[in-house]
Amino acid sequence: MSDKVYFFDTTLRDGEQCPGASMNLREKLEVARQMERLGMDVIEAGFPCISDGDFEAVNTIAKEITKAKVCGLARCVKSDIEAAAKALEPAGDRARIHIFLATSKLHMEHKLKKAESEILRMAAEGVAYGKSFVQDIEFSPEDASRTDLNFLAKVVETVIDAGATVVNIPDTVGYTTPDEFYHIIRHLKENVPNIDKAIISVHCHNDLGLAVSNSLAAVRAGARQVEGTINGIGERAGNVALEEVIMALKTRPEQFGNVEIDINTKEIVKTSRIVARMSGMQVQRSKAIVGENAFAHSSGIHQHGILNCRETYEVMDPVAVGWGTTELPLTKHSGRAAVKARLEQLGHALSEEEVNSVFERFKKVGDSKKFVYDDDLSAIVDDSLHSHSGLWELDFVQFVAGSHARATSTIGLIKEGKRYEDSSTGNGAVDAIFKAIDRITKKKGVLKGYSVHAASEGKDALGEVTVHVDFGLAKPVTGKGASTDVVEASARAYLNAVNRSVRLAEMPQTSSVIEPTI
């Protein structure tokens, strides 16, 4: 058995599936590039058949990523497999198609309405069909942890015979427990005759808060690929947080068979921040490894202990996961070359034109705040590059509000060179601004979520606002904006959501109804 554990990141597929986390192409590309710097072995870039946007994202990431394998998801149907193969073409022999088909009694009876024999036939045919396009096929028996163990073993054997290189065992609904999952993986290792011809992978959801423990139990049992997301984002309670699994394996190797891992752990914090910023899903302060408080010691006893000997209260070195590596901040006196160099260090691959627009915004921000920290700069990048050409741009915001005054906002927008202005009253300045934007853009958005987050330290930090707005499309649209003024940041975020909704409404969406025929 190889001693390397491969990491498979599905932040851009399962992670992006969680309500409110949708990312556009630029954001996905930025996440994918950072995953590669982190050393992810496989990047699942999307579900190509589900929409033109997903197809384009997988296709672009397959072109841009040069080291990691790039994977596309497909149901066990010909049209999905063809779409994945087409989207992945630029990745050449680094392309992987991930085919899934449910195998639990519940799913077979109520969702697929298929008997075991049909499932076995479809699985074999699906893998063989995928194999006609790419060498690397991963197969997932969906809801594996609730599948009859003997049938699961039969499915695994069948797909390996058909050519699957990786067999992934998903705990789709986060139901299993560490002992049980250990037993499932051991059962497969001991009872599937051809098991050594494929890598066993695991994919744990966190409904019972057991995803990390379950993934680690599976590694102990012999699984050699772990799938998950950074920050644990994903459907419902999320997927396993890969940074936690990675650091558990690094910190307690003797507990998990001293497996090898090729992850550049110093990139973890940066990756977490990029994912949080791009997905709009903020990280809880006390979250292990990447939360703001993960290495903060406030009690005097702890601080004293740490000063004498770090190991007294820290089980890992914060520097090893990328904390404490901040460079000197930029100021309004920093020139374009310095800003460009810092952008490159931060991993933003921007065109000259994009650097110009970031620099223009940087100068404005530099006038209103003394230091521009790395996180401020990343927020500026995110904000400046959000604008969609040909759509609405913010010209100005003005508002009057206070505890005894009815809030009134006036907003100026620009579209195709033409200026528009309107005002509205509202329940606070932000509400008034959103209403004024609706009046100009003739949209009627219903705000489903609103959050504000300080990009860096200090009272003058850039405020990053994320909104989730229902415009009557298939799902709420996420918008983001940043400014030292949170009301302006709110206007930018809402406008960003309006622009995204316009783009989304133009895109044809493929049906997601499952038609399980091959």
According to DSSP H, which parts of 369-408 are helical? 374-384
CA distance 323 to 333: 27
Query: Which residue is associated with the tokens 């986060």?
Result: 174
Q: Which residues pair with 43 in a beta bridge?
A: 9, 70
> Which of ligand KIV, Zn ion, none sits in contact with 140, Cβ below 5 to 8 A by type?
ligand KIV
Structure letter (DSSP) for residue 317: -
Residue 98 or 361 having the CB closest to ligand KIV: 98
Question: Taking CB under 5 A as the rule, does residue 138 contact Zn ion?
Answer: no
> Which of Zn ion, ligand KIV, none sits in contact with 277, Cβ below 5 to 8 A by type?
none
> Which of ligand KIV, Zn ion, none sits in contact with 100, Cβ below 5 to 8 A by type?
ligand KIV
Residue 237 or 306 having the CB closest to ligand KIV: 237
Residue 142 or 374 having the CB closest to ligand KIV: 142
* Radius of gyration, alpha carbons of the chain: 24
> Which of Zn ion, ligand KIV, none sits in contact with 154, Cβ below 5 to 8 A by type?
none
Structure letter (DSSP) for residue 202: E
CB distance 508 to 515 below 8 Å: no
> Which of Zn ion, ligand KIV, none sits in contact with 30, Cβ below 5 to 8 A by type?
none
Residue 32: CB minimum distance to ligand KIV, A: 18
Residue 199 or 377 having the CB closest to ligand KIV: 199
Residues 6+ apart with CB under 8 A from 425: 406, 407, 408, 432, 435
Site for Zn ion in 12-71 (CB under 5 A): 14
Residue 236: CB minimum distance to ligand KIV, A: 10
The angle that helices 374-384 and 352-368 make with each other, rounded to 10 degrees, is: 120
CA distance 479 to 500: 8
**Which positions lie near ligand KIV, rule CB under 6 A?**
14, 100, 140, 142, 168, 170, 172, 203, 205
> Which of ligand KIV, Zn ion, none sits in contact with 287, Cβ below 5 to 8 A by type?
none
Residue 368: CB minimum distance to ligand KIV, A: 44
Token pair of 276, please?
């949080």
Residue 10 or 484 having the CB closest to ligand KIV: 10
Q: Which residue is nearest to Zn ion (CB)?
A: 14
CA distance 332 to 344: 19
Residue 223: CB minimum distance to ligand KIV, A: 14
CA distance 373 to 368: 13
Which helix (H) or strand (E) segment holds residue 505: the answer is helix 486-506
Residue 203: CB minimum distance to Zn ion, A: 6
Residue 168 or 496 having the CB closest to Zn ion: 168
User: Among 10-18, 73-81, 293-301, 308-316, which window interacts with Zn ion (CB under 5 A)?
Assistant: 10-18
Residue 95 or 455 having the CB closest to ligand KIV: 95
Give the residue among 314, 339, 336 at the shortest CA–CA distance from 324: 314
Residue 158 or 168 having the CB closest to ligand KIV: 168
Q: Distances from the Cα of 185 to the Cαs of 105, 190, 195, 230, 367, in angstroms?
A: 19, 9, 11, 24, 58
Token pair of 281, please?
């899903």
> Which of Zn ion, ligand KIV, none sits in contact with 107, Cβ below 5 to 8 A by type?
none
> Which of Zn ion, ligand KIV, none sits in contact with 147, Cβ below 5 to 8 A by type?
none
Q: What angle do CA 326, 296, 263 make, to 5 degrees?
A: 55
Residue 516: CB minimum distance to Zn ion, A: 18
Residue 14: CB minimum distance to Zn ion, A: 4
Residue 71: CB minimum distance to ligand KIV, A: 11
Give the residue among 351, 347, 296, 352 at the shortest CA–CA distance from 323: 296
CA distance 284 to 265: 20
CA distance 388 to 348: 19
> Which of Zn ion, ligand KIV, none sits in contact with 244, Cβ below 5 to 8 A by type?
none
Residue 122: CB minimum distance to ligand KIV, A: 15
Which residues of the chain form contacts with Zn ion (CB under 5 A)? 14
